[in-house]
Amino acid sequence: MKVKVVEALFVFAMLLTTTMAGVTMPGERAEHGNMGAATSGSPEHGGGVLSFTFSEPVVNDRGSYVTITMKGAETFTMNPGEPMLPVFQKTLIFPLGTKIKGVSGTPSYVRTMELPKKIAPAPHPVPFDGRHHRITISENSHIYGSTSPYPEEWFRYHIGVGLHDGEHVIFLTIEVYPVRYHPAAHMLEYAGAFDVEVNTDEGTPVTFNDAYDLLIVAPQKFSDELAPLVAHKESMGMKTVLATTEDIYKDQQGRDEAEKIKYYIKDALENWGITYVMLVGGMKGQWLWSWYVPVRYSHLDDNSSWEASYISDLYFADIYKYEAGQPVFDDWDSNGNGVFAEWTRFNKDILDLYPDVYVGRLPCRNEREVTAMVNKIIMYETQTHGKEWFNKMVVVGGDSFEDNIPEIGTDYIEGQVECDQALSFMDGFEHVRVYVEGGDYEFTPENAVSVLSQGEGFVYFSGHGNPTSWATHPYNDFETWIDFNLESIEQLINGEKLPVLVVGGCHNSQFNVSVLNLLKIWEGYRWLEYIWKGETSKVCWGWLMTRHEGGGSIATIGNTGLGFGTVGDGPVDEVPDSEPDGIPDVIQYLGGWMEPHFFDVYNNKGKNILGETWGTTIADYINKFPIDWSREWQGERPYTIEQIDLKTVQEWVLFGDPSLRIGGYP
C-alpha cells in the first residue's frame, strides 16, 4: 500500500528509452507499462515524445446543425452552448517527486474543410433537482460570433498529485484537440497527427513510513464504542490508530477545526504512511453548525439558485497539490481570502482534487449509531465471504428527463440506461432490474423493498433525490413521481446481507439536515423551502440506509448537493466502428459516467477495498475530465462544464469504512 519508488522509477526509465513499433489508437489511458502511443527519449534528457495520429473528421447532419466526429475520440468538448468537438487524451503517471519541466505540442498535416452548417452546441447539464426541465440547446454568442478558432489551443495539460494502485504519484493528463472550428469562416481546421513532448526530471523521490494503514478520527466520546473496531482491524492485518478530535485541536496547526484535522491527516500520512481515514462523527444531535467531526463546505456557484455551498469530504482526502515540481499542502483556499473551494463570478480557488488518502465518514450523532456501525462492519468482514447472496446486484431506475429533441438525439430512459451500464461491468453477478419499463420487477416502493430485503452484494439507484427520498418518473410521464423514501428504508429486513450501495440523485447524502431548520423563520419564506427540500429531516437518506439496524447497506455513496446529468446521444456514435459506439450522452459525462464506473473499478480493475474503489473512481473521473482552471464566466448562463465536473467529484461522499474489504475476508 506504500510507494514503490525504485520500481516505479525503473519502469518509467525503461519506457522512455524504448521506441515502440507502430502507433496505437489514441484515447486509451497510459499508465506504468503502457504509454499508449509511440514514444522516444531518454532518462538523461528527462522526457519523451507522445505521438497521436488521427483519421479525417466526419461531418454528420443534425437538422439545424452538423456534428463532427473522429474515429477513436472518447470525449468531446461539452461546455454548454459551445461547439462539440472531438478530444483525444492520455494520462501519464510518474513517481511522486518527479518534476514536469515542460510540455509542448506540435500539430502536423494540418488541413481545412468548409462546413455547410454551424457545429451543434453542447446542451446544458440538467440538475436532478426535482423540477420539470424542458431541455434546450442554445449558442454562446461569444464563441459563435468570434473570428478566433475554437478551441484557441491545439492541446492542454493538467498535473495533479494522488494515489494510483497504492502508490503516491504525479498524474499528467494531456488533452489534444485535433479539430478547431472557425465560426466566422464556416470552416474546420484539422490535424492528421500531433506530437507532445514531455520534459521531466526525476527529482527527489518521496517516501513514507509504514507504521499504520488506517487512521480513525473521532471525539473522545466515541472511543469506547470504537475500541472493538480497532481490535478487529488489527486482527485482519489492517494496522489501525485512533486519534481524538480533542487531542488534534489542542496540538495541531490550522485556521479552524477542519483544517487542523486535515493537517493531522497530512502528518499521519508522512510519519505513519496511512492510506485510509475514517471520520466518525456527524452533527451533535440536531444542533445546527455543531459537529463531532467537522465538515468543509465547497463554495461553488453552479447557477442553479439551489445552494450556495455544499459539504465535501474530498477536502480531507486531497492533501497535496503540485507546485514548482513538489507536492505541497492543498488548503483549498489558493486565493487566500478565507473562503474555501470557491468558484463564483468574481473569485476562484484552484484545487488538485485527487485523493492522497481514501476517506470515508460515519456521520454518527450518538453512541448507539457508532455501536451499530461497528457491529455491522465486524459482522460484514467476518461473515460475508463465500455467501451466495453477495453475488447479486440490484439496480433501480426510471425516466429522468424529457429529452426528445432532434438536435441532441434519441429519447432515452436515462436512469435505466445508467443502471444497464453499471450492470455491464458486473460479469459473474446475478443481475436484477427494478425498472419502470421492461425490468425483472416493476418499480414500486413495495417491490423495491421486497427485492432489496432478500440481500445482495451491490445496489445502484439512478434517478432524482433529496435528503428524505429517492425518486424517478414513469417513461415520458414527468408529472408523476415514484419514490423510495425514509419509510421505505425502515421497512428493509435484509439483516446481515448488506450491499455496497451507490445512489445517483440530488442531496441523498446531505448529512447536515436537522429539524431545527424549521426554526429559521427569520429567513422569511425560506423555512418553507427547507421543508420542500427535505432539509428539516432528522436524518438523510444515505445515512439512514447505512445505519439501519434491520438491514440497509454496509456503505452508501451519494451526493451531498445538487447532482447533474445530460441527455441525448451526442456525436460520438456517428462514426462507423467508433469506440464507444452508440452510447447515450447520459453515461458519457457527469454522474452518469462516474457512478457506473465505480462498478467497473471494483469488478474489472480488482479494487476490492471500498475506499480505494471510491478514490480510484474519482481519480479516473478527473483524468478523463480534467478541470480547465483558466475558464472564465461567459454567456447568459455562466457556469461551465468544468464547474459541474468539479461539483460531481466534490459532493460524492462515502458513508462507510474506507478500509472495508468488499465481500469480506476469507
Contact, 662 vs 310, CB < 8 A? no
Q: What is the rounded CA–CA span in Å between residue 201 and residue 97? A: 9
Any domain includes 56:
yes
Residue with cell 482526502: 317
List, for residues 515-530, the tens digit of each pLDDT value.
887 776 555 555 556 6
* pLDDT tens figures, 413-441: 889 999 999 999 999 999 999 999 999 99
Q: How confident is the model at residue 18 (pLDDT cuts 50, 70, 90)?
A: very low
Residue whose cell numbers read 487542523: 260
Query: What backbone torsions phi and psi does residue 396 show, to the nearest 5 degrees?
Result: -130, 125
What whole-number distance in Å separates Cα of residue 497 and Cα of residue 493? 9
How much is the average pLDDT of 553-564?
94
Q: Is 195 exposed, middle or buried (0-12, 13-18, 19+ CB in 10 A)?
A: middle
Residue 581 pLDDT more than 60? no
Mean pLDDT, the chain, as a whole number? 86
450 within some domain? no
418, 461 Cβ separation under 8 angstroms = no
For residue 527, CA distances in Å to 311, 517, 522 come to 20, 7, 8
| Contact status, residue 414 vs residue 475, Cβ threshold 8 Å | no
Bigger pLDDT: 45 vs 592: 592
Which strands sit side by side in the sheet containing 167-176, from one edge to the other? 75-76, 86-95, 167-176, 155-164
> How crowded is residue 189: how many other Cβ atoms within 10 Å of its Cβ?
17
pLDDT at residue 410, as a whole number: 66
Ordered DSSP codes for 318-333: --EEEETTEEEE--S-
Does residue 20 form part of some domain? yes
Give the C-alpha separation, 272 to 259, whole Å: 19
Residue 389 φ/ψ, nearest 5 degrees? -60, -25
pLDDT tens for each residue of 123-138: 877 766 555 555 667 8
Q: Give the span between the Cα atoms of 133 and 150, in whole angstroms.
A: 29
The two most distant CA atoms of the chain are separated, in Å, by: 72
Q: What share of the chain is helix, strand, coil (3-state, %, to 5)?
A: 25, 25, 45
Q: Tell me the residue range of the domain where 41 lies.
A: 5-201
Instruction: Tell whether 12 is covered by a domain.
Output: yes
**Separation of alpha carbons 260 and 250, rounded Å:** 9
β-pair type (358-362, 276-280): parallel
Burial label for 633, CB within 10 Å (0-12, 13-18, 19+), is middle
- Distance between CA atoms of 235 and 238, rounded to whole angstroms? 7
Higher pLDDT, 485 or 31: 485
628 falls within a domain = no
Which bin fits 265, alpha (ψ -120 to 50), beta or left (φ > 0)?
Answer: alpha
Cα dihedral 407→411→412→414 (10° resolution): 70
C-alpha cell at 147: 473570428
Angle at which helix 610-624 crosses helix 590-605, to 10 degrees, equals: 130
pLDDT one-digit tens code per residue, 107-165: 999 999 999 999 988 887 776 655 555 566 788 888 898 999 999 999 999 999 999 99
Compute the distance between CA of residue 214 and CA of residue 333 in angstroms, rounded to an integer.
27
d(CA 60, CA 211): 58
Radius of gyration, CA atoms only, the chain = 24
> In the prediction, which pLDDT does 524 show?
56
Hey, what's the torsion of the CAs at 431, 433, 439, 443, to 10 degrees? Answer: 160
Terminal CA-to-CA distance of the chain, rounded, Å? 20
CB 561 within 8 A of CB 542: no
Tell me the per-residue pLDDT of 64-86, one tens digit each, with 9 for 90 and over: 899 899 998 878 998 888 999 99
- The neighbouring-strand residues paired with 277 are 215, 359
Neighbours of 559 (CB within 10 A): 28
Please state, for a pLDDT cut of 70, what percent of the chain lies above it: 84
pTM of the predicted model, to two decimals?
A: 0.91
Q: Mean of the pLDDT values across residues 305-318?
A: 90
Per-residue pLDDT tens for 332-384?
999 999 999 999 888 999 999 999 999 999 999 999 999 999 999 999 999 99
The predicted pLDDT at position 63 comes to: 81
Residue the block writes with cell 441527455: 567
C-alpha cell, 516: 431545527
Rounded Cα–Cα distance for residues 451 and 396 (Å): 10
**Alpha-carbon distance 397 to 189, whole Å?**
42
| Cα dihedral across residues 138, 140, 141, 145: positive or negative | negative
For residue 14, tell me if it sits in a domain.
Answer: yes
At 334 the pLDDT is 96
Q: Which of 269, 253, 246 is nearest to 316 (CA)?
A: 269
Higher pLDDT, 408 or 586: 586
pLDDT at residue 631 in the model: 79
Q: How far is CA 386 from CA 263, 383, 535, 551, 664, in A?
A: 40, 8, 40, 19, 8
All three cell numbers of 517, joined, read 431548520
User: Which amino acid, residue 252?
Assistant: Q
H/E element, 542: helix 541-547
CATH number (domain holding residue 61): 2.60.40.3800
Q: Which of 359, 301, 286, 250 is nearest to 613 (CA)?
A: 359
CB 72, CB 578: distance < 8 Å: yes
402, part of any domain: no
* Residue 98 clears pLDDT 50, i.e. is over it: yes
Number of folded domains in the chain? 1
Q: Is residue 127 part of a domain?
A: yes
Confidence at 331, pLDDT banded by 50, 70, 90: very high
Residue 117: other Cβ atoms inside 10 A? 13
> Coil, strand or helix: which one is 591?
helix
Long-range contacts of 231-238 (CB under 8 A, 24+ apart): 232/377, 232/378, 232/381, 232/382, 233/659, 236/381, 236/661, 236/665, 238/213, 238/214, 238/276, 238/659
